[in-house]
Amino acid sequence: SNMACCICGTSMQYNPSAMCAACLKSRVDITSEISKTGEVEQCRGCGRYSGGQSRWIACDLESKELLALCLKHVHGLDKVKLIDAAFLWTEPHSKRLKLKLQVRKELHSGVVLQQSMVCEFVVKNLYCRNCHMEAAQIQWSSVVQVRQKVDHKRTFYLLEQLIIKHKAHTQTVQVKEVPDGVDFYFMHSRYAQRFSQFVLGQVPSRLVSSSEKVYSVDLNNNKANSKAAIALEIVPVCKDDLICLMKRNHASLGNLGPIALCTGVTQNIKLIDPVTMREGVLRPDMFYKERPSTLMSASQVTEYTVLDVELTG
C-alpha cells in the first residue's frame, strides 16, 4: 500500500519510518557514532607502522595491510555493517591518509540505510624500539649460539636449508660464523627463544645453557636492559657416520648394533644395523646420556658396487 511521507508529503510505498528515501538520507545519519579522524604511528627510521602491543608492520601506501591497520583505528564500526573501504588519493608528503567507507545499518524492520563517509588519519612520526636501540648503538639484545663439534658439518648444512625454507632467519640482525658453529643475533629475546625452539625441533640437539647479563638499570622506572645468550649443541653425528652404541643404547633399541650406520638425521638419529639390516631411532636425550662414539665419518667410508650375489646354503 502507498502512503505520504510525513516530512515532504511525497507518495511512497509504506515503511515503518513513514519517511521517503530522500528524507531518510537527509535526517538520519548512521555514521554519527563512527569516528571521522584518527592517528597512525609510523617509524621514522624503518618506515613501519605500529600495529599495537609493540608490533611493527611493514606496509606500502594504499596496500591491503595498511587498510586493515587503519580500519582497526576506526571506532564505532561494530554498530554498522561495513560494505566497502578504499583509499582516497592524498599527497605522499602530506602525512594524511583518507579512507572512503560504505556502511549499512537497519533502522527499522525492513528499512535499511546505506551511506558513505570519509575518515582522515594523521601519520605521526616516531621511532620503533629497533631503531631506538640502533641509534643508541645497541646492535642486539639476544644471541643464539649453535655449535656442532665435528670436522664435517653436514647437519649444519641441513639446518641452514631448513632455516631458509621456513624463513626462521627473518628476525635476525646479524649472523656470525665462529669456530664449531654459528651465532644468530636478535633484537628481542622472544625472537631468540622462538629460534632456539625451532632448532631443537628440527635437528637432534640440546639446550646447553641460558644466561642473561644486565648492562643498564633505570631505578626511577624500575626497568633494566640486559643481553641474553642461549647455547645449543647439535649431536656430533652426521649422515653416513658409523657409530658404536653403548650397552644401554644397544639394549633400548632392541639389541640393534652395537655397530650401526647413520642413515639420516631429522629430529632423531636414524640407524641401521649393517649385519641384520634392522632399523632404529636414537633420540637426542638417549644420545647425550650414553654418548656413543663415532668410529668413521662419511669422508672415510669407501663406496662399493655389488655386481653379483651368490647364495651359499
Closest Cα to residue 236, out of 195, 191, 204? 204
Average pLDDT over every residue of 153-162? 86
**C-alpha span between 96 and 30 (Å, rounded):** 25
CA 216 to chain centre: 29
**What is the per-residue burial (b if ≥16 Cβ within 10 Å, else e) of 77-114?**
beebeeeebeeeebeeeeeebebebebebeeeeebebe
- With a CB cutoff of 8 Å and minimum separation 6, the contacts of 197 are none
What pLDDT is attached to residue 267? 87
pLDDT digit string, tens, across residues 289-306: 878 888 888 777 778 898
What pLDDT is attached to residue 197? 93
Provide the residue type at 223 as one letter: K
Question: How many residues are present in the chain?
Answer: 313
Contact criterion met (CB below 8 Å) for 75 and 50: no
What pLDDT is attached to residue 216? 74
Statement: residue 151 has pLDDT above 70: yes
Average pLDDT over every residue of 131-160? 81
Average pLDDT over every residue of 221-232? 84
What pLDDT is attached to residue 110? 67
pTM of the model: 0.59
Statement: residue 313 has pLDDT above 70: no
Grid cell of 187 as nine digits:
633484537
Statement: residue 1 has pLDDT above 70: no
What pLDDT is attached to residue 149? 86
What pLDDT is attached to residue 137? 64
Is the omega angle on the peptide bond into residue 258 within 30 degrees of 0, that is, cis?
A: yes
Closest Cα to residue 45, out of 129, 123, 127, 124? 127
User: How is 148-183 classified by DSSP, letter by letter?
Assistant: --SSS-HHHHHHHHHHHHHTTTTTEEEEEEETTEEE
In the block, cell 632392541 appears at 254
Give the pLDDT band of residue 139 (cuts 50, 70, 90): confident
**C-alpha span between 156 and 193 (Å, rounded):** 19
What pLDDT is attached to residue 196? 93
**C-alpha span between 102 and 114 (Å, rounded):** 7
Counting residues of the chain whose pLDDT is more than 90, the rounded percentage is 19
pLDDT digit string, tens, across residues 43-60: 888 888 988 777 888 888
pLDDT digit string, tens, across residues 93-138: 888 999 999 998 887 666 778 888 999 999 999 888 777 767 666 6
What pLDDT is attached to residue 120? 92
Grid cell of 90 as nine digits:
592524498
Average pLDDT over every residue of 160-164? 91
Contact criterion met (CB below 8 Å) for 256 and 273: yes
What rounded mean pLDDT belongs to the chain?
A: 84
**C-alpha span between 67 and 162 (Å, rounded):** 33
Provide the residue type at 208 as one letter: V
